[in-house]
Amino acid sequence: MEVIKKQTGAAFKLKKGQKLKVIDPQGEQVSDMVLFNAEDTREKISSGKTLDFEESILITKGNFLWSNRSHKMMEILEDTNGRNDFLLAPCSPETFQIMYNNPDYHPSCFENLYTNLEKFDIQPDDVPTAFNIFMNVQFAPDGKLSVDPPLSKAGDYVLFQAQMDLIVALTACSAEDSNNGSFKPIHYAIID
């Protein structure tokens, strides 16, 4: 079991067929995930393609995560919480400046994604809209969005299986609104 400490991230390779278990060890925490084809990192996870092919804003057990080239990247085998989406971008320095009116430095998922992805020659501009695991974004019939505390309880997890060789980046979210103001770790395990 690997530990992503609060307000940090990790990036690693996952082989086709391997499983990735992403765990919320304490509950009410969010993990942003992005995926790249390990053989050609210009192929990456796509919000639009996933919503298109899965015909749903909420993505859970039985759904696939799709790439910008219309290929399956991961299947979701299990999901004990059931609330994940692509709606909002990873929190970034500008999120805290614009949304939280905080001009000072603040850790962010965006920074934690691109700094961990540097070793794979992936640049900040290459980071796509992320898959927000455990995130509880509520949408009203008129489309208005609100970020509520995650519904995840301690030990909730999502189990993914890679459909191609992947580079995966994960965070333990740094944004107050996403995790009810209490920054917590995320755990993950790679299962052969």
Nearest approach, Cβ of residue 111 and its own copies (Å)? 13
Length of the chain measured in residues: 192
Q: What is the DSSP letter of 89?
A: P
C-beta of 23 vs 35, nearer to its own copies: 35
Is residue 32 within 8 Å of residue 131, measured between CB atoms?
yes
Nearest approach, Cβ of residue 178 and its own copies (Å)? 11
Segment holding 95, helix H or strand E = helix 93-98
For 144, counting Cβ atoms within 10 Å of its Cβ (0-12 exposed, 13-18 middle, 19+ buried), the class is exposed
C-beta of 144 vs 192, nearer to its own copies: 144
Tokens 């995650």 -> residue: 150
Q: Which amino acid is at 31?
A: S
Segment holding 93, helix H or strand E = helix 93-98
C-beta of 90 vs 150, nearer to its own copies: 90
Is residue 166 within 8 Å of residue 74, measured between CB atoms?
yes
User: How many CA atoms lie within 13 Å of 145's alpha carbon, on the beta-carbon side?
Assistant: 12
C-beta of 146 vs 182, nearer to its own copies: 146
C-beta of 135 vs 168, nearer to its own copies: 135
Nearest approach, Cβ of residue 96 and its own copies (Å)? 11
Nearest approach, Cβ of residue 99 and its own copies (Å)? 7
Token pair recorded at residue 155: 């030990």
Nearest approach, Cβ of residue 86 and its own copies (Å)? 7
The contact set with its own copies (CB under 8 A) reads 42-43, 46-49, 51-53, 55-58, 68-70, 85-90, 92, 94-95, 98-99, 125, 127, 129-130, 139, 141-146
